[in-house]
Chain A
Amino acid sequence: MNPLHLLTRYFRASLSAQAQYPGTTVLMTVGAFAVNFIEIFGIAALFSRFGQVRGWSFGEVALFYGLVSISFGISDFLSRGFDVLGTEFIRTGNFDRVLLRPRSLALQLIGYDFRLRTMGRVLQGLLIVAIATQTLHFHWTLAAVGLAAWTVAGGVALFFGLLVLQGTLSFWTVEGLEVANVLTYGGVQAAQFPLSLYAPWFRGFLTFVVPLACVAYFPVVALLGRHDPLGAPDWFLPLSPIFGVIFLAVSFWAWGFGVRRYTSTGS
């Protein structure tokens, strides 16, 4: 059975499991949508009171927010196995069985659970992008769609990488690590506003340590056809999502190191 076929199998199994509880699935999706969508009321209220923020308008900020939401939603859909690695696999000893199967670890963990409720966040992101398009009278050329897709791809890779790192840490901590939520959920929170609003040390962190700016701020500045007020060169802006992919590669390198160091809890 080739990997793609296996993944479809996993996907169908997840889907039919969730179809057993249609009410719950729908409510969770609506909840995921609503709890993220209300953020836009806060952003809109701030803009209606203050007009603009350091030269950025409501529509532009909505575009930052919408795209990063879509990235995170898709990544959340794919990465559940890594998210619960500590509690569901390592602490219980189930990881031993995963290791014994003649298929790649990543494939099995991605296939562990595709949660439909994460689509609530993707839908919310799409709606915010629609609001941004409306407000900015943004014209989606083919190049713009391509750049947006590339931005989202980089974002998915980055958030996925963060979850892989969280999973890697649980080889040592055994339990899950809530603090990692700071970088995933908190990362979305940080990336929804333009980088230029933040203090220099925080910009540095978001660019060089966890390159969230490379999958949100820089490419969206290019998408908006602006020059970066912080002085990043124009040619760099559309290329920056590559750092999301590089981050994912580094995360998997760390992951490999963690797997080699893994000792079973023996239960």
Chain B
Amino acid sequence: MNALRPYLATFSARFQLMLQYRAAALAGFATQCWWGGIKVMIYAAFFGAAGAAAHAPISLSQTITYTWLAQGFLSLNPWTGDPDVAAKVRTGAVGYDRLRPVDAYGWWYVNAAAWMTARAAPRSAMMFALTGIIFPIVGLGAWAWAPPAGVAAALLFSLSMILVVLLSSAIVMLINICVAATLTDRGVNNLVAPVAILLTGNLIPLPLFPDWARTALFIQPFAGVVDIPFRIYFGQLTGTMALAGVGLQVFWILVLGGLGRLWLGRVMDRLQVQGG
């Protein structure tokens, strides 16, 4: 247990620090409401076309729930590296991190996890309060964040969301390492963001992409960040498929985490420290 203490300490310190940015949380929430609102109206228009709904693998109300979940948990998406790591690399403070008697990968990893969860917690709570509780009360039930499909779905969703944090942190770590190796966060952040937006299901829910792409979209690592847990939530992914989804999340956490550890070791061996 003692071996874990420094990691838990840095997690809780970073978590509490990120929670202080209340104005940013409110601004983020407003933006996500606007985006979600537009998306929901667009989906309703597409689904509204006569008979078209029959061709879609998920229903309109599932698509709406998917959209609010995606907006609420947007901060859990691995779009960019951890800005703290980028700042450390830029100023040379990465040298201090090398002197800490902790595992370099684990240290940055828990920081990335804290950075994402602390931003997601208030935003998702506000989003649920608005679209999950207030919407049904004021008679906008058709546009609401619906409750989970059942107890089993809710439990599996909770497990899957924990895996989301672990998987997303592993992807953020790969970006961080790229930042450490190239000494700037600009290049990699610009290239990863579009790929992540497209492949997580944030642009449109992955099941709405053409059917021929379904398997490929399911097994790629980004699906485990948005698509798999949300489809478990509203019961479109059940039984063996749901377990396969969770299994894929675990698989990608191990693969990307292992890859990151190896790569970080190599980068740290020949790390350039800037500054002076």
Contact = CB atoms under 8 A, between A and B. Distances in A.
A binds B: yes
Interface of A: 23-24, 27-28, 30-32, 34-35, 37-39, 41-42, 45-46, 48-54, 177-179, 181-182, 186, 189-190, 193, 197-199, 202
A45 B187 CA distance: 28
A38 B52 contact: no
Contacts of B52: 49-51
A198 B208 CA distance: 20
A189 B37 CA distance: 11
Contacts of A54: 45, 48-49
B251 interface: no
Contact of B56 (A49, A53, A179, A193): A49
B41 A24 contact: no
Given A42-B203, A45-B209, A186-B35, A51 B197 contact: no
Given A46-B204, A46-B208, A50-B49, A182 B34 contact: yes
Contact of B203 (A39, A51, A181, A190): A39
B27 A179 contact: yes
A34 to B, nearest CB: 4
A50 B198 contact: no
A149 B209 CA distance: 34
Given A30-B190, A190-B38, A202-B41, A179 B30 contact: yes
A49 B31 contact: no
Contacts, number: 99
Contacts of A23: 187
A37 B197 CA distance: 11
Contacts of B46: 46, 49-50, 53
A41 B198 contact: yes
Say whether chain B's binding surface is mostly helix, strand, loop, or mixed: helix
Contact of B190 (A31, A46, A182, A198): A31
B41 A197 contact: yes
Contacts of B47: 50
Contacts of B184: 24
B191 interface: yes
Given A50-B46, A53-B46, A182-B34, A35 B197 contact: yes
B49 A31 contact: no
Interface of B: 24, 27-28, 30-31, 34-35, 37-38, 41-42, 45-49, 52, 55-56, 184, 186-187, 189-191, 193-194, 197-198, 203-204, 208-210
A38 B198 contact: yes
A90 B186 CA distance: 27
Contact of B194 (A34, A49, A186): A34
A193 B42 contact: yes
A179 B55 CA distance: 38
Contacts of A177: 27
B55 A50 contact: yes
A121 B191 CA distance: 15
20 contacts: A27-B186, A31-B190, A31-B193, A34-B194, A38-B197, A41-B198, A45-B204, A45-B208, A46-B42, A48-B210, A49-B46, A49-B208, A50-B46, A50-B55, A179-B30, A182-B34, A186-B34, A186-B38, A197-B42, A198-B38
A199 B56 CA distance: 23
Contacts of B193: 31, 35
Closest 7 CB pairs of A and B: A31-B190, A197-B45, A178-B27, A34-B194, A42-B203, A42-B204, A35-B194
Nearest to B209: A45
